[in-house]
Amino acid sequence: MQIDNTSAIVTGAASGLGNATAAALAAQGARVFGLDLDVTRAPEIDNVVYVKTDVTSEAEVRHAVALAAEQGPLRTVVNCAGIGPSARVLGKRGVHDLGLYAKVIQVNLVGTFTVLALAAEAIARTGPLEHGQRGVIVNTASVAAYEGQIGQVAYASSKGGVVGLTLPAARDLAQYGIRVNTIAPGIVETPMLATVGEEFRAGLAAGVPFPQRLAQPAEFARLVGFLAEHDYLNGETIRMDGALRMAPR
């Protein structure tokens, strides 16, 4: 599918996976609309316009989608926005905060679906390409969807939901020529990991079978580009983890 001279939406675009993806799509000629809660510190990138957006707000997502579609055709949507607080079902302070659990589901799963659904509505209005294709949506899950660790019950639930919606969403949107795929990354060197020590990071890397290092955001972005361009990949969740299988802790 053609990326050059089209519009793209990337959520969580101010940093990490989303920022790398926005930069990569822009380098391929897309007009990228980078959605994030806080865009004040987002790095300036040619052909990337940041839009302050809460992915759990229908009104804000509709506004952002309309902006992208106006500069259209909107062809590519990438869901990277997410949060990952840690808490056990039963911890030293008692039961898992029920409000926190609901918030993680709301941001990671409901937010992903909100962007997917509202963007699909706009993509469906665009003119078809070869074989009736109109666009592609790429979601972000995690290996935690399969091997959630201690303290990841909310995060794993939300990412498992993203994996679960991938195939039925692809089937639902097939009639409109919209493909849906998901990437499940392992341990990626994002700003979240910048707060931990080098020794801890080395320990994480040592647990990856091969290559024995942390993944880079640019590798995630490259996989997004591959999924966008490969027209026969649909309804698929791809692990990007160096054959890592997470231990309980």
- Select from 18, 14, 1 the least CA-distant residue to 44: 14
* Cβ-contact 226, 173 below 8 angstroms: no
What is the per-residue pLDDT for 30? 97
Q: Measured between alpha carbons, how far is residue 248 from residues 68, 85, 92, 160 in Å?
A: 42, 17, 18, 16
104-156 confidence digits (pLDDT tens): 999 999 999 999 999 999 999 999 999 999 999 999 999 999 999 999 999 99
CB atoms within 10 A of CB 45: 18
For residue 183, give both structure tokens: 């990437």
12-62 confidence digits (pLDDT tens): 999 999 999 999 999 999 999 999 999 999 999 999 999 999 999 999 999
The answer to whether 101 is a known catalytic residue is no
For residue 212, give both structure tokens: 């024995």
* Predicted structure pTM score: 0.95
* Residue 195 pLDDT grade (very low, low, confident, very high; cuts 50, 70, 90): low
Which domains are assigned to the chain?
Answer: 7-188+216-240 (3.40.50.720)
CA 217 to chain centre: 12
* Cβ-contact 190, 15 below 8 angstroms: yes
* Cβ-contact 68, 7 below 8 angstroms: yes
Radius of gyration of the chain (CA): 18
What is the per-residue pLDDT for 201? 79
Indicate the pairing of strand 94-95 with strand 90-91: antiparallel
Across the range 238-243, mean pLDDT stands at 97
Candidates 50, 101, 146, 155; catalytic one: 155
In a 3-state reduction of DSSP, which class is residue 111?
A: helix
Instruction: Quote the Cα angle for 1-225-114, to 5°.
Output: 85
What is the per-residue pLDDT for 194? 67
pLDDT at 98 over 90: yes
CB atoms within 10 A of CB 237: 17
**Cα(161)–Cα(17) distance, integer angstroms:** 20
